[in-house]
Amino acid sequence: MSAWFRSLRGRITLVTVSVAMLAVLITGLVSVQLVRQSTISQGRAQLASQAQLLSRLPAATNLASLRERVRLALGDTRVAVVAADGQVSGPGSGFVTAADVTTLRAGNRVSQTEVRRNRTMIIEARPTRTGTAIVLVRSLGNLETTTQETVRRVLLSLVIGVVVAIVAGTLLARWLTRPLVATAETAKRMAAGERGLRVEAHQPTEIAAVADALATLDRALSTSEGRQREFLLSISHELRTPLTAVRGYGEAMVDGLIHEQDIAGVGATLVTETQRLDHFVADLLELARLEADDFAIDRQPVEVDRLLEQAVHAWRGRAAMLDVVVQVLPGAGGLAVSSDAQRVRQLIDGLVENALRVTPAASTVSIAARRFGSSVVIEVRDGGPGLSPDDLAVAFERGALQARYRDIRPVGTGLGLSIAARLVSRLGGSIAAGNAAGRGAVFAVSLPAA
């Protein structure tokens, strides 16, 4: 039962029934009071009308005749007659006070509700033309007795209303929560790994918004999981190639198939392949650290021109082997950024390595820096085929370009640009990809100026 009260369906039912019962209670109280007041007012009006009528009759002092007339008109009314000398007679004389007699003898009427002889009485008295007065007395309790049947009917109606409210509240709560329960069930199925699920379209606007968000999440998860699968396939492919070479040479050495004069060449090959493996594992670790925020940043003023010259000098040997020129364009002098020199250098190295991979022989990789507002923009431009609009949309997603071009042109691990994007974010900057005016792609890194 407590679980039902904690559920949305239980709370909607409880609120609906509570509001209905409160409305019924207020309506009942007001109705009973209105019925009571209406009955009293009606009884008073009847009594006053009867007293006025009797006071005008010629036989107004004939007590027996008056009692008979009143009995026929208002059966529970008592009658009294005030004589000209002030004497009061009749069954109702015990409820007539001296003040009433004085008022009537002065020619004024009496119309009041008072407690007399421990009973609440309605008194209507009218003087006659002969100097006498007619007094009609009716018990308020007798009038209220006539309202009990009406009150019972009103209360019965209200009880029926409460029952209807309970049933309607239960049905309403079930109707309102049905799509929400279905949406929650869909979310559970998504959590269990199901994809491509649909939620009922006909439902309240707010729940429909939740269903739309759930559908959007479903599509995003499907896309993300698809890319993760492609990324895992890429990882498997990248790892298998150097491992196959290492294993092949190892087995050859065990079987004695490697001649002594070939050992140096085999050793160089093994070193190259293990370096590839080490580089790939280092990329994975770097990416994991960036995403886990386990990454220290040592901010200080960094001279951009010196950093670019160091990067060019470091990559000049590799570029020469590829017949590619790496150069720094003029304009970087005097620029400084507030960042971590080691991380900025890591960022530039990653972009230069990516540029060398796609740049053909006899081409150039250019590095430039310029001031832009309160930032310094560092650009790395390659001489490769450039990026299509589809490439630009996923350029910094891990493994996206690697999966797209691994069978077309030389590619890396698929992690470099993803690492660059996360690294720039940690450094408080931004990175963008585009195409150069002539040929090749350009990657622009914006960092806060010192």
Task: Give the confidence band of 72 by pLDDT, cuts at 50, 70, 90.
Answer: very low
pLDDT of amino acid 203: 61
pLDDT of amino acid 288: 67
Which of 319, 311, 300, 317 lies closest to 348 in space, CA to CA? 311
Q: Is the pLDDT of residue 376 over 80?
A: yes
Instruction: Supply 325's token pair.
Output: 């020129």
Tell me the per-residue pLDDT of 276-312, one tens digit each, with 9 for 90 and over: 677 667 766 766 666 655 566 788 999 999 999 988 8
Q: Is the pLDDT of residue 313 over 70?
A: yes
Q: What is the 3-state secondary structure (H, E, C) of the chain?
A: CHHHHHCHHHHHHHHHHHHHHHHHHHHHHHHHHHHHHHHHHHHHHHHHHHHHHHHCCCCCCCHHHHHHHHHHHCCCEEEEEECCCCCEECCCHHHCCHHHHHHHHCCCCEEEEEEECCEEEEEEEEECCCCCEEEEEEEHHHHHHHHHHHHHHHHHHHHHHHHHHHHHHHHHHHHHHHHHHHHHHHHHHHHCCCCCCCCCCCCCHHHHHHHHHHHHHHHHHHHHHHHHHHHHHHHHHHHHHHHHHHHHHHHHHHCCCCCHHHHHHHHHHHHHHHHHHHHHHHHHHHHHHHHCCCCCCCCEEEEHHHHHHHHHHHHHHHHHHCCEEEEECCCCCCCEEEECHHHHHHHHHHHHHHHHHHCCCCEEEEEEEEEECCEEEEEEECCCCCCCHHHHHCCCCCCHHHHHHCCCCCCCCCCHHHHHHHHHHHCCCEEEEEECCCCCEEEEEEEEEC
pTM metric for this prediction: 0.46
Which of these ranges, 65-69, 130-134, 238-242, 293-297, has the smallest mean pLDDT? 65-69
Q: Which residues lie below 8 Å from residue 361, measured CB to CB, with a gap of 6+?
A: 322, 323, 324
What spatial distance separates the first Cα and last Cα of the chain, rounded to whole Å? Answer: 65
Q: Higher pLDDT residue, 253 or 403? A: 253
What Cα–Cα distance (Å) separates residue 309 from each residue in 11, 207, 314, 347, 370? 69, 59, 9, 14, 15
Residue 209, CA atoms < 13 Å, CB-side half-sphere: 2
Tell me the per-residue pLDDT of 28-42, one tens digit each, with 9 for 90 and over: 778 777 877 777 787
Instruction: Supply 174's token pair.
Output: 């079930």
Tell me the per-residue pLDDT of 201-212, one tens digit each, with 9 for 90 and over: 556 676 677 777
pLDDT of amino acid 235: 63
- Cα angle 347-424-390, degrees, rounded to a multiple of 5: 90
Task: Tell me if 117 sits within 8 A of 96, measured CB to CB.
Answer: no
Q: Which residues lie below 8 Å from residue 204, measured CB to CB, with a gap of 6+?
A: 176, 179
Question: What span, in angstroms and rounded, lies between the C-alpha atoms of 266 and 316?
Answer: 27
Overall average pLDDT of the 159-177 stretch? 77
Question: What span, in angstroms and rounded, lies between the C-alpha atoms of 248 and 315?
Answer: 31
Task: Give the confidence band of 67 by pLDDT, cuts at 50, 70, 90.
Answer: low
pLDDT of amino acid 369: 93
Instruction: Say which amino acid occupies 241.
Output: T
Instruction: Supply 145's token pair.
Output: 């007795």
Which of these ranges, 109-118, 231-240, 260-269, has the smallest mean pLDDT? 231-240
In the chain the domains, ranked by start, together with CATH numbers, are: 2-148 (3.30.450.20), 205-291 (1.10.287.130), 300-448 (3.30.565.10)
Q: Higher pLDDT residue, 224 or 305? A: 305
pLDDT of amino acid 430: 93
